[in-house]
Amino acid sequence: MSFLPICKQDMLDRGWQQCDFVYVIGDAYVDHPSFGHAIISRVLESHGYTVGIISQPDWKNPKSIDVYGRPRLGFLVSGGNMDSMVNHYSVTKHRRKTDAFTPGGVMGKRPDYATVVYCNLIRQLYKDVPILIGGIEASLRRLAHYDYWSESLKRSILLDSQADLLMYGMGEKSIVEIAEALNAGMDVKDITYIDGTVFRAAELDESLPTIVLPSYESLKANKRTYAESFKLQYGNCDPFTAKRLAEPYGKEFVVQNPPQKPLTTQEMDDVYALPYCRAYHPSYEKAGGVPAIEEVKFSLVSNRGCFGACSFCALTFHQGRIIQTRSHESILAEAELMAKDKDFKGYIHDVGGPTANFRHPACEKQLTKGACGGRQCLYPTPCKNMKADHSDYVALLRKLRKIPGVKKVFVRSGIRFDYLLADKKDTFFKELVQFHISGQLKVAPEHVSDAVLSRMGKPKNAVYNQFVDKYYRLNKQYGMNQFLVPYLMSSHPGSTLKEAIELAEYIREMGYNPEQVQDFYPTPSTLSTVMYYTGLDPRTMEKVYVPTDPHEKAMQRALIQYRNPKNYYLVKEALIKAHREDLIGSGPKCLIRAVPPRVTSAPPAKSLKGKPAAKAAPKKTAPTPKKSAPKSPAKPARAKRK
């Protein structure tokens, strides 16, 4: 196994005079299947195409993307594994200090709106070379979208980037079809038929069923129109039932083809069997390596897709609702390879995906007829046709535990507790508690107010309480002393100070001291972001209260962490404003004392609306439980909110 070229000399050493594709990426080059650029480049390589990598070019210098000269077929461009704006800025719009996808964790090695900047850089040198964009940034900005950082409705990224073709979703099938078309001599402007792609058109093909969305100008003029348009987009994310969508821009259209069909198990296995080096490029050693690899190096991807459909999550738009899985044999082969790594300490950090305990489609019909358009699988209650069964996942975990050299197999990539409870058999729940938790299990109830949970697309709080009770019963049954770490979200659309106080009171009753708190972050192409921008729930067009003032958001966050002395004045102000002075005093139900603690911050100055007032979100750490939790034997993988 060897890395792909990162400079012209590497290319020449391989005997190539020209690359078929030059791949410009906003991340460091990490040849591991958890990184999109690694998968796409290896898939192309497996089909006989040559690919050169340009990682984090100097966007102020056009020559930085001319490392290999003119590619034979085209440029590929991706902003990276994260949207570049999420990568750069916290929810309070403060600049982050580190970038886990850059050598040494250094911030500032990619531009804001990286995909657009890189493509315009290429166009300065090459006016006619095809540019193909993909990755999460392109995928979620493929049509008109609200951009939180500029507080504006932006056009399709296809237009602003001057790219020729956009690939959305995971892209393995799309990129091969595009490569074959270009290799056959087709003009990129004629490649309009491939699923999972978006293209520009002067006129529409009347022979194909197409939904014409409201024009960009009308979306800018009326927020309700945007909410209605997004509802149409959201209803056309299924690869079996979706129609073409066309969004007018003046005299042209941006046209979105239906999504690619889900990968079969064999196709998934083939992708993960490609000859990845499973490491960052050795040229990064002097800088200290690439921090992001640590979270995935000893983790296993077992599935893709998510039928949980949380409102604040973009997975429905990106990977879709249909679960795709790898075979046991494929995962075990990777685990055995992992166990031979010199740095492996015996701990597999995770076995999962967007949702760890989804190992098959929600129901049998999804693989032939697609996911239901008017019904979610789990929300507001589990569908009667959903098959809640963990037997395949249990069998996989049992096999992994038996691999020589493996001491422990953890499940850290989020579980859906409502799906777990829907399984009539307790086998997985019992084995999860006995074998797969490193002292504490991270789950994401997100809130306790049913009014807020309904906007989030999450189950009612009673379901979480049922899960908590059963979790601790099983811990007691097996003599375990393991804790729950609940992820909680403040300031989600629908949350007023009343609901924030309801959450604080719940925390008081449960004895939590949460540090895992996240302000709602309006990222492109989620239902919750549409609520934030329009004040409407696009599913029903009902009006939704949206906390947008930074000071109110700071109060909502402070209420969740009311025990922190630094939050005293914010909590007191919130309680007075909500007429809940009964929670101020020395009684057992009070959140804060009438007299401020000795160690506290000064009363915060109210900010002007639209100006950030709250400090950047603190680094996530485990909460302080009533008793100290056992230390994890290995650094945990990044937990995903489910």
Give strand ranges (E) for 113-173.
Answer: 131-134, 145-147, 152-154, 165-167
Quick check: 415 and 303 in contact, CB under 8 A?
no
- pLDDT, tens digit, for every residue of 342-354? 999 999 999 999 9
Q: 403: alpha, beta or left, given left = phi > 0 and alpha = psi -120 to 50?
A: beta
Q: How confident is the model at residue 329 (pLDDT cuts 50, 70, 90)?
A: very high
Neighbours of 1 (CB within 10 A): 9
| pLDDT > 90 in the chain, percent | 88
Placement of tokens 């375990």 in the chain: 480
- pLDDT, tens digit, for every residue of 548-570? 999 999 999 999 999 999 999 99
Amino acid at residue number 442: K
> Mean pLDDT over residues 222-229, rounded?
98
**pLDDT over threshold 70, residue 630:** no
pLDDT of residue 625: 39
Placement of tokens 């493509």 in the chain: 119
**pLDDT over threshold 60, residue 636:** no
Quick check: 30 and 4 in contact, CB under 8 A?
no
**Dihedral sign (CA 539, 545, 548, 550):** negative
> Mean pLDDT over residues 148-163, rounded?
98
**pLDDT over threshold 50, residue 500:** yes
pLDDT of residue 629: 36
Q: Where are the alpha helices (DSSP H) in 156-295?
A: 157-161, 172-183, 216-221, 223-234, 265-272
Quick check: 577 and 593 in contact, CB under 8 A?
no
> Mean pLDDT over residues 18-33, rounded?
98
The region of weakest confidence among 40-44, 227-231, 316-320, 446-450 is 316-320
Quickly count helices (H) and strands (E) in the chain: 22, 24
**pLDDT over threshold 90, residue 516:** no
624 versus 224: the higher-pLDDT residue is 224
> Mean pLDDT over residues 6-13, rounded?
97
Quick check: 195 and 239 in contact, CB under 8 A?
yes
Cβ neighbours for 52, distance < 8 A, ≥ 6 positions apart: 4, 5, 6, 10, 11, 19, 21, 22, 23, 67, 68, 71
pLDDT of residue 597: 87
Cβ neighbours for 129, distance < 8 A, ≥ 6 positions apart: 70, 71, 74, 75, 122
Q: Class of 8-200 per CATH?
A: alpha beta
CA geometry: angle 84, 168, 458, nearest 5 deg = 80
Rounded to the nearest integer, the mean pLDDT of the chain is: 92
**pLDDT over threshold 70, residue 603:** no
Counting Cα atoms < 13 Å in the Cβ hemisphere of 255 gives 24
> Mean pLDDT over residues 94-118, rounded?
97
**pLDDT over threshold 90, residue 608:** no
The pTM for the full model equals 0.91
pLDDT of residue 612: 40
**Dihedral sign (CA 148, 151, 156, 160):** negative
pLDDT of residue 633: 34
Give the tokens for residue 239.
């690869």
CA distance 336 to 247: 48
pLDDT of residue 12: 97
